[in-house]
Amino acid sequence: MNPLPPGHRVVVAELGEDPLDAIEHFTSLAHQPAPDPATLGPRDVIVAVKSAAVGWVDLIMTSGQYQHAPKPPYTPGLEYAGEVAWAGAEAGVTRGASVLVDPFLAGPRSLGNYQAYGGFATYAVAPAEAILPLPGALTFDEACNLLGNYETAYHCLFTRGRLVAGETVLIHGASGSTGLAAVQLAKLAGARVIATGRSPEKLAIVAQHGADHTLPSIDFAPAVKELTGGRGVDVVYDGVGGDISVESLRCVKFGARFLIVGWASTPFVARGKGQRGAPNANQLPTNLIMMKGLDVLGSPTVIATVNDPSLRAPRLAQVLAWAEAGAIRPHVSHTFPLAEYRTAMRAKWNGEVVGGCVLRP
């Protein structure tokens, strides 16, 4: 008999036209029988999920508008943290240990057998190599917002952007999960940060996390020019896309690096229902790219790492070391019980969140 009591999980039965359609019509909270240890391998681990991040990518996956689409029915929750409820004999972890699960190796964004187990659930199963101790003094809520966000910021700013101390970086979507991580990492690297956003209240929190200057995300180019003595910034971190990208090209120095991180303002670049193709792709003016000698750098963290697995180990080690030392700490503005997953997903989609939004199964 299974020693673990049953729980609940969120199920996406079908992909929506867009995330709100998916949340409304194709998601439900279902009964979850506990995974049965008798059916698992010696290196498998059952995690009793305490906190799961509700990320932007979790949302656009529900409509298949993200490049990587698990086949429905599936449970969302790319990144989660919790306690070990059961571990196989060769897993090397003890029951009750507080752990963070590596979203590259387990969960809906991973590529192997553990894709079926997302964090929006009482239980998830992950292989031993995906189980990491909670670094430093991070809580479960903070830990489930660590790797995806900070590894993205690291990959974009440092691996692609070659950002160094003394340079100035313009960070758009700075109140978002990856944007706020980028603010913290750019400051750790000794750069000067100009952050943009739509809400003064959210920008006040971004400033508390180290941004040197905050600006509204409309008509920012003149202010950026002024702040940089007319020269423009060295690096742009653009997770927002659309008009913001185009305006950014007007306040960069010659030879700047322009990092394409994402397009949160134009999520309908891709078609819904998991249809492939991108009929509404953003466009950048080639005349400005040419005349300013820009390096426009596409910066997909997971895809780059699949192409060059050697990128991962130093990046992961550095992010964990910073978290262990207390140099970085994810900001979490909203938490919800699992049963309120719809409210949580809508809050994230509607831009109510600063940094992380968390479900607590």
Least distance to ligand NAP, CB of residue 360, Å: 19
Taking the alpha carbons at both ends of the chain, their separation in whole angstroms is: 23
Pick from 32, 65, 248, 301: which binds ligand NAP (CB under 6 A)? Answer: 301
Q: Which is nearer to ligand NAP, 87 or 251 (CB)?
A: 251
Pick from 16, 82, 262, 330: which binds ligand NAP (CB under 6 A)? Answer: 262
Pick from 265, 312, 329, 332: which binds ligand NAP (CB under 6 A)? Answer: 265
Pick from 134, 240, 252, 294: which binds ligand NAP (CB under 6 A)? Answer: 240
Q: Which is nearer to ligand NAP, 6 or 298 (CB)?
A: 298
Region from 114-122, 172-180, 249-257, 283-291 binding ligand NAP, contact rule CB under 6 A: 172-180
Which of 106, 86, 6 minimizes the C-alpha distance to 39? 86
Distances (CA, A) of 348 to 80, 141, 180, 313, 353: 16, 15, 15, 30, 6
Collect all residues with Cβ–Cβ distance below 8 Å to 151 and sequence separation of at least 6.
301, 315, 316, 319
Q: Which is nearer to ligand NAP, 48 or 224 (CB)?
A: 224
Which residue, judged by CB position, is nearest to ligand NAP in the bound state? Answer: 176
152 binds ligand NAP (CB under 6 A): yes
Pick from 20, 296, 351, 360: which binds ligand NAP (CB under 6 A)? Answer: 351
Would you say how long the chain is, in residues?
A: 361
57 binds ligand NAP (CB under 6 A): yes
Region from 98-106, 108-116, 284-292, 296-304 binding ligand NAP, contact rule CB under 6 A: 296-304
Count, residues near ligand NAP per rule CB under 6 A: 27
Pick from 48, 132, 261, 358: which binds ligand NAP (CB under 6 A)? Answer: 261
Least distance to ligand NAP, CB of residue 340, Å: 18
Least distance to ligand NAP, CB of residue 97, Å: 28
Among positions 215-234, residues that touch ligand NAP (CB under 6 A) are 217
176 binds ligand NAP (CB under 6 A): yes
Task: Give the long-range contacts of residues 193-201, CB within 8 A, separation 24 or more.
Answer: 193/168, 193/169, 194/168, 194/169, 194/170, 194/224, 194/227, 194/233, 195/171, 196/170, 196/171, 196/172, 196/220, 196/244, 197/172, 197/173, 198/351, 199/175, 199/351
Least distance to ligand NAP, CB of residue 217, Å: 5
Among positions 188-217, residues that touch ligand NAP (CB under 6 A) are 197-199, 202, 217
Q: Which is nearer to ligand NAP, 283 or 287 (CB)?
A: 283
264 binds ligand NAP (CB under 6 A): yes
Least distance to ligand NAP, CB of residue 294, Å: 18
Collect all residues with Cβ–Cβ distance below 8 Å to 95 and sequence separation of at least 6.
84, 85, 86, 87
Distances (CA, A) of 48 to 7, 8, 56, 58, 230: 10, 11, 23, 20, 54
Pick from 70, 103, 173, 330: which binds ligand NAP (CB under 6 A)? Answer: 173
Distances (CA, A) of 204 to 169, 176, 186, 191, 207: 18, 13, 18, 19, 5
Pick from 16, 107, 232, 239: which binds ligand NAP (CB under 6 A)? Answer: 239
Tokens describing residue 273: 């229902």
184 binds ligand NAP (CB under 6 A): no
282 binds ligand NAP (CB under 6 A): no
Q: Which chain residues interact with ligand NAP by CB under 6 A?
A: 55-57, 152, 156, 173, 175-179, 197-199, 202, 217, 239-240, 261-265, 299-301, 351
